[in-house]
Structures are given as C-alpha cells and as structure tokens.
Structure 1
Amino acid sequence: MTGPVTIVHACRRAGRGGSPTAVVDETSSTDADRRAVPVAAGTSHAVFLSHATRGVVPLRFFTATGELPACGHGTVAALAVLAERSGAREYETVLRSGGRTFVGRATVAGSRCEAFFDPGPVELRVAAPAERASVLSALGLGPGAPCRVASVGRPRLLVEVPDRTALAGLAPDLDRLREACDRSGLLGCYVHSAPAPDGRVAARMFAPSIGVREDIANANSTACLAAHLAGRGRCALAVDMGDSLGEPSTVVATARPGPAGPLVLVGGAATVTGSLSPG
C-alpha cells in the first residue's frame, strides 16, 4: 500500500454495518498503486485525500479496476476522517472531485459522525428500450419494471420493484449484467423497493462493470433516487442497503426544488474503525 490507511464504515445503521472504505492521504503514487489499495485493505473502494489548496480538499476515488469521478460513501468516509482530525464538533469544508467543487459538513458525537454533502445536479432521462430490456433480463425481471436512467458523475439505471421481498429475492446474472451495462455505458443498476409512506426504501446496487458485484451502500445512487422521486412529491428518503451482504447500512437523502431541478443533500452516519500500515 502507498501509506497508512484509515478504515471507515460509512452509512451505518444504528451503529452497525456500513460500507468499509479505505481513506488514504495522497502521495506521488501511480494509479496502479491506488487500485491496489482497496484490494489490500479488503474494501470495495478507496478515497485519496490531497492537502487543501486555498481551502479546497481534492478527493480521488478508486476501485480495483480504476478511478471513479465520484463516490458517495467515499465522500462520507473522507468527511468522517477530516472531521475527526479537526477536533471540531461541527465541521465544514469545501471538497473537489470529478471536476466540481462542493461543500461537505459533518457533526461529531463521540465516535459517531453524521456527514452530508451536495452530490451535484442529477440528470434524469427515459431508459432506451434496448438498455432497459438487457438489464432487466440480466436481473431476472420482466420487461414492465419501472426504470429511469440517472446520472451524477456517471449514468446508472434505477429500477423499481414492488417491495422488500422482491428485492431480497433478486439473483442477477452478473456476467450478463456487466455486458448489458458496458454496452449502454452504465455504471451499474440500482434496484429499489417502492417507497413506504414514511419515505423508507430498501435498495441494492449491482456494479460489476467497476468490479463491485454488489455495493454495501451507494450514496450517489440514493441521491439519484431522491431526485427521481422528488417528481412524485417525495422530499426525504432513508434507504436501507447491505442486508443481503450482512452489513446493514442506511443512506439518507433530501431533495428540494431548485432553479434547474431538484437540489439534493445526501449522506449518513460513519465511524472510523481502524487503520492499516503499508507493508
């Protein structure tokens, strides 16, 4: 590994689970070195922090297969580390990733951190017949499942199923799903239950195209869902993820009207849980 690695469990639920994420201070590493970090750390993603320049902290995100322009739970993990280092109970900073600058905030209480950020504008469009058909088939779903393509950094397909039971029963053909996503230029597929009256949702994110068979927590896709459901009058969501992987996680998102579409805020609870030394 390139240097000391901090492990953060991001988007935890009631103090449990969350997505283990490697957080590393940036050095003059190569991209190959960066791709090796999540493998060595046993995490799906790694986030690299550079020193602040004019008050802005640059972030870079990697999986074992390459760099991502954005990573929601990685941003939550980065904010948890930065807030802990600051020693402040209420922390705010300016972050930069994927060519955009945005504000992140965190509140620290003991070992628990609540972190939220602006994921940027969400682009929504109707799924083309070919892309929806191939993805739904790989998921084992019928052609009538409601779909929407949403993008914040990279496009992904949002797919609605009736309830948590249908979601839990999914057993996608991941090889076919990867082929379908690659053909359409999709990051992956975010399958979610219909929202309950209180805004509670369950979701699973499959992203074999970036080397992640199933994500424990995916904040940017949850931001996409919040923007999508804002058209139905939903302004707040709590999305449960990770249960199928034994890592209960919850991502929280809110949406409000903006001049060019919904303005979304997304995040969750995080805990710094350990560290690893290079070797």
Structure 2
Amino acid sequence: MFTVVRACLRDGEGGSPTAVLDESPMPDDERRLAPGRAGASHAVFVAPNGTLRFFTSEGELPACGHGTVAALALLAHRTGRAEHLLKVGGRTFWGRAVLGEDGLFDAAFDPGPITTRDPLFDEISEMSDAVGVAAGVASAAGVACVATLGRPRLLLPVADRATVARLTPDLERLRAASDRFGLLGCYVYAVPDADGRATARMFAPAIGVPEDIANANSTACLAAHLGRDLRVDMGDSLGSPATVTATAQPSGILVGGLAAILMM
C-alpha cells in the first residue's frame, strides 16, 4: 500500500505526485517499480525511526527534496506533530510540516551542506548543447555552476522565462553527457527577478526522470549559489504547476513547499 502526496503545489494546484510507503523488507528491484505503480516519478520509503530512502525507476537516490516534503506532510498528518527527526544517507536533521486552514501542509527542511564549483569547459558545452541552450547564451545570462547536494548537477542560467519554456532537450544526448561527467542532470533556470521569483526546469534522464515537476534540492543549490531567497516555479511544461521555496538561514538553506495528501 502507498500514499500519493502532491509536493510543492502552486496556489493549491499541481505539484509533483510522490509515492510514500512504509519501510518494509522489500527488495530494491521491487522498490524501483513503486513510482510507476503510483503514477509518480519518485517514491520515498519511511521507516519508524525517520529514515528515508528514495527511488526512481533507475534505482536509489541519495536524497530527494520533494520526496522529503512529501514524507514530512504524511508524518505530520499521521502524528499531528509539526516537527520530525529524519535520517537520510547517514545524516540526521529536523524537518517540519504545518497544516494550514486550506488543508495543505507547509513543509520545509535543511537539505544539508551544498558545495559548488565552476563547470569544466566540456561539461557546460555538452550539457548546454544537449538541453538546447547555446553555451554563449548561458554565459551571457549568468554564472553557471556544478552544485553538489547528494549528487552533483549543472545549474545553467538563461535570460528569461520564455527561453526556459521553449527548451526541447535531446534526452539521449543529455543522458550520455550526464553519465560521462557523473552529473545528476541539468537544472536550467531564468535569472530571478528583484523579488527572487524565477522559473526552472530540471532534466535528469540519467536517473529515469526526463523532466522533474519539482526539484527542491536543485532549487536549494541555486539559492546557495546565488546567496538569496528564492521562489521558483516549475512543472508548467508538464501541465502540473509547482513552486519550490528556498530561504537562506544562518545555518544554511531551508527549502520546501506546500503539499497535499491525495490518497491513502
């Protein structure tokens, strides 16, 4: 049995459907089937001690931001408590999910240490070409970087929302380039406005997710890279609008979004 939670909703709509299951002695091959059975891209398995494990059809992930939002919402629903101690990849941290009057859970957590570096010439050349962005266009829009949170991914800036919306990536080329450089995928974002509002699309065919409806960890990476609070819209190209928030704290980045529990 599983629960579907739509994580990182925008104005109460859309969000990323995520399968949430109780931990059990299930083989990993079976866990990889869980997202597809739930009509989701990701599944999160929740143990009684707060340990989370994340799977796509390609296998296990070291972390998943919107999966953590989904798990926090379900834990809050079950226990009536806002604060929960979670364990992911050997790291222990607190997350919260508060039920609002609209029936949605407002969830947030500290995703952990984020490191950034300049991309290599071949990385930005091949990855940007595969997603359909000329390397020169990206360079003119802002500073690209490789950000690591669990796994490294390329953060690629473009000038505006229209450019993000027009992208038609070559997913086979992107998968090959991601595998070659050991990258999770490519997070293409429009340079945020003065209020920190931006739009982005995350392409990760190397882990079985051609495009992610909402990618909280990459948004946290972007907030760390730019050193500012963000509110990033995603999912429009997939017909499921989503919004991820990231706030700079003295101890690091706090990332999250709104979540709705659909079925149990």
Common fold by TM > 0.5: yes
Residue in 2 aligned with 1:61?
Answer: 54
Within 5 Å, give how 1:1-279 maps onto structure 2.
4-52=1-49, 57-88=50-81, 91-110=82-101, 111-144=103-136, 145-146=138-139, 147-230=144-227, 234=228, 236-258=229-251, 263-275=252-264
In 2, the alpha carbon distance for the partners of 1:222 and 1:143 equals: 21
In 1, the alpha carbon distance for the partners of 2:245 and 2:131 equals: 25
In 1, the alpha carbon distance for the partners of 2:100 and 2:119 equals: 42
Instruction: Name the TM-score, length of structure 1 as normaliser.
Output: 0.91
In 2, the alpha carbon distance for the partners of 1:198 and 1:226 equals: 13
Shift of 1:109: 2.0
Q: Give CA-to-partner distance per residue, 1:130-151, whole Å, 9 cap, x none.
A: 1111101111211221410001
Name the aligned partner's letter for residue 206 of structure 1. F
Name the aligned partner's letter for residue 185 of structure 1. G
3-state DSSP of counterpart to 1:132 = helix
In 2, the alpha carbon distance for the partners of 1:229 and 1:164 equals: 18
Structure 1, unmatched stretches of 5+, are none
Name the aligned partner's letter for residue 132 of structure 2. G
3-state DSSP of counterpart to 2:32 = helix
3-state DSSP of counterpart to 1:24 = strand
What is the number of equivalent residue pairs in this alignment? 258
Q: Give CA-to-partner distance per residue, 1:216-244, whole Å, 9 cap, x none.
A: 000000000000010xxx2x110000000
3-state DSSP of counterpart to 1:121 = coil
3-state DSSP of counterpart to 1:150 = strand
Shift of 1:256: 3.6
- The percent of aligned pairs where both chains have the same amino acid is 59
3-state DSSP of counterpart to 1:17 = coil
Shift of 1:257: 4.7
Structure 2, unmatched stretches of 5+, are none
Q: Which aligned segments of 4 or more residues in structure 1 are displaced greater than 6 angstroms?
A: none
CA-atom RMSD, angstroms? 0.9
Instruction: Name the TM-score, length of structure 2 as normaliser.
Output: 0.96
In 2, the alpha carbon distance for the partners of 1:140 and 1:73 equals: 26
